Structure 1
Amino acid sequence: MKASWVPVPPGSDFTLANLPYGVFAPAGTPQAWRVGVAIGKHVLDLAGALGAEVFTAPSLNAFMAGGPSVWADTREQVTELLSEPRSARAVRAHLHPIADVRLRLPIEVADYADFYASEHHARNLGRLFRPDGPSLPANWKHLPVGYHGRAGTVIVSGTPVVRPTGQRRTAPDAAPSFGPSLRLDVEVEIGFVVGVPSALGTPVAVGDFAQHVFGVVLLNDWSARDIQSWEYVPLGPFLGKSFATSISPWVVPLSALDGARVSTPIQEPPPLPNLAESEPWGLDLRLQLELNGQIVSRPPYAQMYWSPAQMLAHMTSNGASLRTGDLFASGTVSGPDPGTSGSLIELTRAGTEPLTLPDGTSRSYLLDGDTVRITGAACSPDGARLGLGEVIGRIAPPIASVPPK
């Protein structure tokens, strides 16, 4: 494996095998947004290093629209620049310490959809909400269940999350009331970023996944469980989800994850032909959820029932088109063992078994001032670690409602 002449500390998320893309502004030029690649503790300014105008942009969209051949050529060029010592003198001028730059949302989000692809998560919630009925809906093992969110409320890591307000019902026989959510939750997820669009009316086949998807991000689908539980019948999540979705600032290229590909769990009954996979698109990703600096869960993405290729195929099976910048997410990542669930509603059994934190406080759901951090890494067959960075959010108090005139 090649090594970089740029110093890469041991355990760094951003090695030469990774090279994730982001959008940054150098120190002293707060609005000079440009595309960069992370390596160790630095970011390489691609506009300066490669001289391509497509990288002098406030998002990755124009570059992502170029497609797999452009992605592969760029990755090859960047790898050579960062691994060949003879390039160091010319390239060093275009390296910036990550600690000194500003990062922004890396993509201009076109559409945002979220799935429900973990069987363990779906069954956990089913047992909580339907103790006397089946834990899975009748359709769950036949198609990846999902919903559409709001592209305009996708935010970059570090952006405060304002506690949402809405209608909620505090008891089954109580009248609804309006106010701040009392059951604010997190959802540990992986997001997939679309680069190449598709034509309206033309479904995207499972086997064409890598021709359209550019890369992955860490994602937190913040959820107001009380608002959600009151509104979701019969049409599903709406205001309980649409107030904020946080993503990491670095997009890890799909090609960097080749070594982490695994088969999904056995799918029974077998998927219908339009969802049948001929090659595995499960991913061995190890995720970690922290609340106020305390690790509370380690969800395993490798156990997800539906693969991202199946999600994409289902999302377009009715002829819906893809656009550059589309973002779709996996749904909460949860495993079968204690301490592997990706949401507080599971970890605390809907608030009945609160978590105890090192400072002696307990949490059923999030309080104002709480900070949530999600990290993750891919695991390749040779044991090499490839980091996904982090996505962080701090809960801010609700904005006071404006009284009617």
Structure 2
Amino acid sequence: MSWFEVPAGAPFGTAELPYGIFSTDETPRRVGVAVGDRVLDLAAVGEAAGLDADVFRQPSLNPWMGLGPAAWAEGRGLLQSLLADESGRDVVEPHLLPLDAVTLHLPIEVADYVDFYASEHHAANVGAIFRPGGPPLTPNWKHQPIGYHGRAGTVVPTGTPVVRPNGQRKAPDEDAPTFGPSRRLDIEAELGFVVGVGSPQGTSVGVDAFADHVFGVVLLNDWSARDLQAWEYVPLGPFLGKSFATSISAWVLPLAALEPARRPLPRQDPPLLPYLQGDLYGYAIEVEVWLNGLLVSTCPYAALYYSPAQMVAHLTSNGASLRTGDLLGSGTISGPAPDQRGSLLELTWNGSRPLLLDGEERTFLADGDEVVLRGRAPAADGGILALGAVTGVIEPAPAR
């Protein structure tokens, strides 16, 4: 039992305790934890408990995340104790702020951003769309997690408007490229794994060391201009079609909260090289895609072929370092069923099979559209864990 009562319909219970950065008119940016429909000011709680709370007075989670797993466990354990034991009421209650009375900010200072391609269903769908009649997967896909390096500077928090990008595009029936607003603006429903503890350059991080480095998880929308991407991606891959905006949730859910959601990976065949073998698991997280208030897809993260530990192991296998604040996207989460696809590219089969929403046929995003990603996972008590939502509204491209 807990003295803290979670109101019905509150975004989070006491099992999640996600971290974020908030401010008020009187308080500069600092670290908070979401519980119920409140935000707990950790700097104030730390002071009340007689602790050194300077790490919680910072404008990003990076200093806290950099302390490592022992500190993360101690901090989470203390919060759980304070919320459960009546003796914690006097320490906590004065420092609970209504969620609607604070401003939320980007929770991390993003160091590097890497986006993977870990869903076999997504990769096969994309292959079938763009390489009809050929093998759906490229020859390397089942041997290593594929990814690309994105742009850390355009990672934005939930609620930030997404401006339609301008760029070069060339349709198959056009003789030459033109420049202008993307005509095929899309979403990608993903998880983002946030690195807390870095690694030295020239070393690698094994799959079994995943939890020693990764702090937590956010929902992530990797906005994609499919027409710009299709024209530019050969031979070097995604560039301007991806770099204009990536949205993440304001709350980082600690890995510890997801322990009840661990699930075995799908069978990996052929067997992977030894550096990608070990204690491997995924998570039973479902990501919902909402377009203008209508649910269009529910994407099962447990169906992904590669584990997050394998993504970290492959990323560092050449000696590339991890840094506090690195953001590792899972790639689009798609399952085997048509209503489990995490992009409009797949849901509409590149625009050839429009969705019917409220009597209107829809393919790619229009100006004014609102996209919301919501996530949930099983909790230890049989309930539901919530991930912080990600929202973005499409604004028109700037005039040229």
What is the TM-score normalised by the length of structure 1?
0.96
How many percent identity over aligned positions? 59
- Indicate the residue corresponding to 1:357 in structure 2: 357
| Structure-to-structure mapping, 1:176-215, within 5 angstroms | 176-215=177-216
Which residue among 20, 35, 38 is the counterpart of 2:34?
Answer: 38
Contact 1:13/1:386 (CA < 8 Å) preserved in 2?
Answer: no
1:311 Cα shift?
0.3
User: May I ask how many residue pairs the two structures share in their alignment?
Assistant: 395
1:361 Cα shift?
2.4
- Indicate the residue corresponding to 2:343 in structure 1: 343
- Indicate the residue corresponding to 1:17 in structure 2: 15
Cα deviation 1:297-343 (Å, max 9, x = unaligned)? 00101000000000000001000001000000100000001210000
- Indicate the residue corresponding to 2:143 in structure 1: 142
For 2:85 and 2:9, locate their aligned partners in 1 and report how far apart those are by CA, in whole Å: 22
For 1:110 and 1:275, locate their aligned partners in 2 and report how far apart those are by CA, in whole Å: 24
Q: Which moved more, 1:82-91 or 1:280-289?
A: 82-91
Matched residue type, 2:178: S
SS state at 1:325 partner:
coil
Contact 2:207/2:280 (CA < 8 Å) preserved in 1?
Answer: no
Matched, 1:81 2:82: yes
For 2:62 and 2:361, locate their aligned partners in 1 and report how far apart those are by CA, in whole Å: 42
For 1:212 and 1:84, locate their aligned partners in 2 and report how far apart those are by CA, in whole Å: 31
Which residue among 44, 53, 72 is the counterpart of 1:48?
Answer: 44
For 1:22 and 1:258, locate their aligned partners in 2 and report how far apart those are by CA, in whole Å: 20
Contact 1:14/1:39 (CA < 8 Å) preserved in 2?
Answer: yes
| Structure-to-structure mapping, 1:257-276, within 5 angstroms | 257-276=258-277
1:91 Cα shift?
1.8
- Indicate the residue corresponding to 2:382 in structure 1: 383
Contact 1:191/1:328 (CA < 8 Å) preserved in 2?
Answer: yes
SS state at 2:306 partner:
coil
Matched residue type, 1:320: A
- Indicate the residue corresponding to 1:329 in structure 2: 329
- Indicate the residue corresponding to 1:7 in structure 2: 5
- Indicate the residue corresponding to 2:281 in structure 1: 281
1:54 Cα shift?
0.4
1:382 Cα shift?
5.0
Contact 2:106/2:157 (CA < 8 Å) preserved in 1?
Answer: yes
- Indicate the residue corresponding to 1:127 in structure 2: 128
For 2:117 and 2:91, locate their aligned partners in 1 and report how far apart those are by CA, in whole Å: 47
Please report the RMSD computed on the Cα atoms of aligned residues, expressed in angstroms: 1.1
- Indicate the residue corresponding to 2:372 in structure 1: 373
- Indicate the residue corresponding to 1:170 in structure 2: 171
Matched residue type, 2:238: P
For 2:272 and 2:46, locate their aligned partners in 1 and report how far apart those are by CA, in whole Å: 44
- Indicate the residue corresponding to 1:242 in structure 2: 243
- Indicate the residue corresponding to 1:155 in structure 2: 156
SS state at 2:72 partner:
helix
1:82 Cα shift?
1.3
Matched, 1:396 2:395: yes
For 1:4 and 1:294, locate their aligned partners in 2 and report how far apart those are by CA, in whole Å: 35
Contact 2:68/2:212 (CA < 8 Å) preserved in 1?
Answer: yes
Contact 1:12/1:387 (CA < 8 Å) preserved in 2?
Answer: no
For 1:398 and 1:49, locate their aligned partners in 2 and report how far apart those are by CA, in whole Å: 44
Contact 1:23/1:105 (CA < 8 Å) preserved in 2?
Answer: yes
- Indicate the residue corresponding to 2:296 in structure 1: 296
1:86 Cα shift?
2.1
1:9 Cα shift?
2.5
Matched residue type, 1:338: P
- Indicate the residue corresponding to 1:312 in structure 2: 312
Query: What stretches of structure 1 of length at least 5 have no aligned partner?
Result: none
SS state at 2:139 partner:
coil
For 2:59 and 2:116, locate their aligned partners in 1 and report how far apart those are by CA, in whole Å: 28
For 1:338 and 1:167, locate their aligned partners in 2 and report how far apart those are by CA, in whole Å: 30
Contact 2:11/2:37 (CA < 8 Å) preserved in 1?
Answer: no
SS state at 1:22 partner:
strand
Q: Which moved more, 1:77-86 or 1:195-204?
A: 77-86
Cα deviation 1:137-196 (Å, max 9, x = unaligned)? 000000000000000000000000000010000225520000000000000000000000
Query: What stretches of structure 2 of length at least 5 have no aligned partner?
Result: 48-52
Q: Which moved more, 1:169-178 or 1:154-163?
A: 169-178
1:382–1:84 Cα change, 3 Å: closer
Contact 1:262/1:280 (CA < 8 Å) preserved in 2?
Answer: no
Matched residue type, 1:115: F
- Indicate the residue corresponding to 1:233 in structure 2: 234
For 1:90 and 1:61, locate their aligned partners in 2 and report how far apart those are by CA, in whole Å: 25
SS state at 2:270 partner:
coil
